[in-house]
Amino acid sequence: MRIISGIYRQKLLKSPKDNKTRPTQNRLRETLFDICHNNINNAVFLDIFAGTGAMGFEALSRGASRVVFIDNHRPAIECIQYNIRTLGVENCADVFNSDAMSILTKFAAMGKRFDIVFIDPPYNATTMHNRNQEYYDDLVLEFFDENPILNPSGMLFIESPRALARPLKTLTLKSSRPIGKTMLRQYVS
């Protein structure tokens, strides 16, 4: 996987060798950054369920001042840390090897805020149709809806195969774009 644009354009990113990480499609990355290109300079970017970290590294390449990566899969974390060292961005990247909800709860308690958030929760053909499956996208969206972690003029993007089941209070769905077999949804506060 390579960075698409910006100062690290065409730099190769290391990815985990296992099949537990689903890299974000280039087309989805390009679409997201086309939407937020006017807001990326000096933004604090949060990459939840970061996997390879491609979205966060793309954000840094395009002008974000800081990126926070969250993932609980050890091989993904090791690749993100390797890529941070390879790109020389240790001073503007933080990595958390933890459950997303645990870290988000700590961030809320600390008063941390983010300008742009990307959520790419785990899903596959088996779990996305299982009615008993608790969807990470619902949990994380509801958390952002109830906690002021997104800056007032911030943007939250989620890659998901389905729409949220219930309406939100403080977040508004601004756009929903089909990209391959998934959807990229943009919420604003």
140, with CB counted inside 10 A (0-12, 13-18, 19+), is buried
- Domain residue spans in the chain? 26-188
CA-nearest of 32, 26, 89 to 57 is 89
- Checking if the pLDDT of 65 tops 50, the result is yes
Q: What is the pLDDT of residue 127?
A: 41
The most confident of the ranges 21-35, 57-71, 131-145, 160-174 is 57-71
Q: Which residue has the higher pLDDT, 128 or 41?
A: 41
Question: Counting beta carbons within 10 angstroms of the beta carbon of residue 58, is it exposed (0 to 12), middle (13 to 18) or buried (19 or more)?
Answer: buried
More confident residue, 1 or 118: 118
> Which residue type does 133 have?
Q
Residue 144, SS3 per DSSP: helix
Token pair for residue 15? 């990815």
Please, which residues bridge with residue 187 across strands? 156, 173
Chain-centre distance for alpha carbon 171:
17
Cα 52 from Cα 186, distance rounded (Å): 21
* pLDDT, tens digit (0-9, with 9 covering 90-100), for 110-148: 999 999 999 988 755 334 334 333 456 678 888 999 999
pLDDT for 69 beyond 50:
yes
Concatenating the DSSP letter of every residue in 68-97 gives EEEE--HHHHHHHHHHHHHHT-GGGEEEEE
Q: According to the model, what pLDDT value does residue 120 have?
A: 87
At residue 39, the pLDDT reads: 96
Look up the pTM and report it.
Answer: 0.90
pLDDT digits (tens, 9 = 90+) for 93-116: 999 999 899 999 999 999 999 999
Q: At residue 61, does pLDDT exceed 90? A: yes
Distance (Å, rounded) from C-alpha 35 to C-alpha 54?
A: 17
Considering only the C-alpha atoms of the chain, give the largest distance between any 2 of them, rounded to a whole number of Å.
44
Mean pLDDT of all residues belonging to the chain: 87
Q: What is the CATH number of domain 26-188?
A: 3.40.50.150
pLDDT at 26: 81
CB 3 within 8 A of CB 155: no
